[in-house]
């Protein structure tokens, strides 16, 4: 079946540091890949997505590239802010008969200190 593995957390950074959160996946077919963010006490918000190999998703300074050869979708940001502190989830949605069903990783807690 499908699965998503994220790097172990939590991650603690100083403001303006570089961020990488690793994500690898296992899926049949050609999945779409997503990063969602969850702020304290809130639901999930879509941060960025990529629907085919070599696509780069980007939003709010975050970016991730769909790497089919390494089955990865690592999240990066060049300079984090305190307001980026949240839980980040990597997810995939397979095609075929599984449209709309998201498979999530376990989440990575990011804390950014001033």
Partner 1 sequence: DAGVTQSPTHLIKTRGQQVTLRCSPKSGHDTVSWYQQALGQGPQFIFQYYEEEERQRGNFPDRFSGHQFPNYSSELNVNALLLGDSALYLCASSVGQSRNEAFFGQGTRLTVV
Q: Is 100 in the site for partner 1 (CB under 8 A)?
A: yes
Q: Which letter does DSSP use for residue 52 in this model?
A: S
Distance CA 45, CA 42 (A): 9
Q: How far apart are CA 2 and CA 93, in angstroms?
A: 9
106 lines the binding site for partner 1 (CB under 8 A): yes
Nearest one of 111, 35, 109, 16 to 74, comparing CA atoms: 35
Residue 35 Cβ vs partner 1, minimum distance, rounded to whole Å = 12
Q: Which helix (H) or strand (E) holds 36?
A: strand 32-38
Q: Which of 19, 66, 107, 112 binds partner 1 (CB under 8 A)?
A: 107
Q: Which residue, 29 or 114, has its beta carbon nearer to partner 1?
A: 29
Binding-site size for partner 1 (CB under 8 A) equals: 26
CB of 114 to partner 1, least distance (A): 26
The residues pairing with 34 across neighbouring beta strands, listed in sequence order, are: 49, 91
Nearer to partner 1, 51 or 111 (CB): 51
Residues engaged in binding partner 1 (CB under 8 A): 4, 32, 36, 41-46, 49, 51, 89, 91, 93, 95, 97-107
């Amino acid at each position: 079946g499908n699965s998503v593995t994220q790097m172990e957390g939590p991650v603690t950074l100083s403001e303006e540091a570089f961020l990488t959160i690793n994500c690898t996946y296992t899926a049949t077919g050609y999945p779409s890949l997503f990063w969602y963010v969850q702020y304290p006490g809130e639901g999930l918000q879509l941060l960025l997505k990529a629907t085919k190999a070599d696509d780069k998703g980007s939003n709010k300074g975050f970016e991730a590239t769909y790497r089919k050869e390494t089955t990865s979708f690592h999240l990066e940001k060049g300079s984090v802010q305190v307001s980026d502190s949240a839980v980040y989830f990597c997810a995939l949605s397979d095609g075929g008969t599984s449209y709309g069903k998201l498979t999530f990783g376990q989440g990575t807690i990011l804390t950014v200190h001033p």
